Amino acid sequence: MKVLKSAIPWLVLLASFAILALFYNALPNEILIARSFFGNEATRAPKSLFTVFRVPLIELVCASAIEIMRRKFAPVDTKFALMWLVLLYTVSLKSLFQSFETISAENFANIFFYMTIGVVALGLAAALFVGRGVFAKSSRAVRTFDAVDKSILIFLLFSYLGLAIVPILIYK
């Protein structure tokens, strides 16, 4: 059961890629890569494998970092590990809703946009609630990251920045 709980977010994340692959040919020639909070300002880019699969790639990077943290903190405190698991679910659902946003007509895309915001807000609130009071214990575990974990996390950070921010600057 424990393995299933941590496998489900990865399957949802995989579904995000599958949905986009399934609808790739039907997507418009320009892909939405960023929008303002109220959805009125949008940045679009020409359709390519990168622009279509960019969001699930970003979420894959985030999920990988979360998984490293979850595994690191699981021995420290089960509540803290549960917090990371909640964040893993949040990232996977965010990716799924954003994939639905990408393949949907504009009026439905807006619904998925706001659903994504809701999922993220709910997921962050749930993670903070579940993980409350255990942050002091986490500081001890952070000091025990080995060089491989640190290197992977640094690589994931730069990958995230490259995938999330650089395209917005290029296509603005």
Q: Per residue in 4-50, pLDDT tens?
A: 777 999 999 999 999 999 999 999 999 988 876 665 677 889 999 99
Task: Please tell me the distance from the alpha carbon of residue 27 to that of residue 41, in angstroms, as a whole number.
Answer: 20
Phi and psi at 13, nearest 5°, equal -60, -40
pLDDT of residue 9: 94
pLDDT of residue 139: 53
Long-range contacts: 148-154, Cβ < 8 Å, 24+?
149/68, 149/72, 152/64, 152/68, 153/65, 153/68
Task: Please tell me the distance from the alpha carbon of residue 92 to that of residue 127, in angstroms, as a whole number.
Answer: 14
End-to-end CA distance of the chain: 45
pLDDT of residue 137: 56
Instruction: Write down the pTM of the prediction.
Output: 0.85
pLDDT of residue 28: 93
Residues in a beta bridge with 45: 31
Task: Please tell me the distance from the alpha carbon of residue 11 to that of residue 158, in angstroms, as a whole number.
Answer: 25
Angle (CA) 70-72-78 rounded to 5° is 60
95-151 pLDDT, tens digit per residue, is 999 999 999 988 888 899 899 999 999 999 999 888 777 665 555 555 577 889 889
Encoded tokens for 84: 């990371």
